[in-house]
Structure 1
Amino acid sequence: MRLSTIERRIKDTALAFPEAYEDRPWGDFPVFKVGQNKVFGWVVRREESVDVTIAHLLPYVRIASHVGRYGWITAAVTDEESLEAALEWLRESYWLKCPAELKAAVEGE
């Protein structure tokens, strides 16, 4: 699977959430936020993978550098299987970080 396709699908999924937006506070890579500046994930393209970093913790992914102590992980996405897992984790990360009022409003619809 092409890295540009992986990156696009991650971005499309992230920005499909209510009130989600893209920012680039740390340079060249997209950071996905919700509410008042709440980060729920970001993407960095590597040479052989696309790394998606999210707020989620599972035993088979690595702790994210610099922010791992806060529960953030990084998954190296290289194929359809790892992409589907990463997209699901991105969804979970969004709901962990979105404002309570937004979550209640969406769940009430």
Structure 2
Amino acid sequence: MSGAFAALRAHGLAFPEAEEDHPWGHTALKVKGKTFVWLDETDGLFSLTVKLPVSRDFAEMFDFASPAGYGLGKSGWISCRFAPGEKPDLDLMKRWLAESYRAVAPKKLGALLSADE
């Protein structure tokens, strides 16, 4: 498990009522049964997929980000892929995890995150 994978997994699991699941061999962090981030690390390639209703257009400016497949991109889901040796901006990825969490969590739980997340 890479440092980025471990750091983002731990960060997401610290959100209120977040749980981990492993459908289709990937790591999914969920709140109330709804996925807010997909994390994967296969063959050294690290990827995450998050729902960004606010930051989607900004995210698409980065070479590592693109609309998620399976039609999810139309709903604001973005996939970020990092080749072996690439170091993701963890602060940015943590903010995107928080945005995705707020997008899928019940409002009551989303409001529990600090404003700077």
Contact 2:40–2:48 under 8 Å retained in 1: yes
Residue 42 of structure 1 aligns with which residue? 38
TM-score by length of structure 2 reads 0.75
What is the CA deviation profile of residues 1-60 of structure 1, one whole-angstrom value per residue up to 9, with x for unaligned ones? Answer: xx61111011001100000001112x211101102x111111111434311100011332
Mapping 1:3-82, distance limit 5 Å? 4-25=2-23, 27-35=24-32, 37-56=33-52, 57=56, 58-60=59-61, 61-66=65-70, 67-77=72-82, 78-81=86-89
Per mean C-alpha deviation after superposition, the further-off stretch among 61-70 and 41-50 is 41-50
Percent identical pairs in the alignment equals 30
Residue 92 of structure 1 aligns with which residue? 99
CA RMSD of aligned residues (A): 1.8
TM-score by length of structure 1 reads 0.80
Structure 2 residues without counterparts, runs of 5 or longer: none
Number of positions where the alignment pairs a residue of Structure 1 with one of Structure 2: 101
Contact 1:75–1:86 under 8 Å retained in 2: no
- Mapped to 2, the partners of 1:10 and 1:100 lie a distance apart of 22
Poorly superposed stretches of 4+, deviation over 4 Å: none
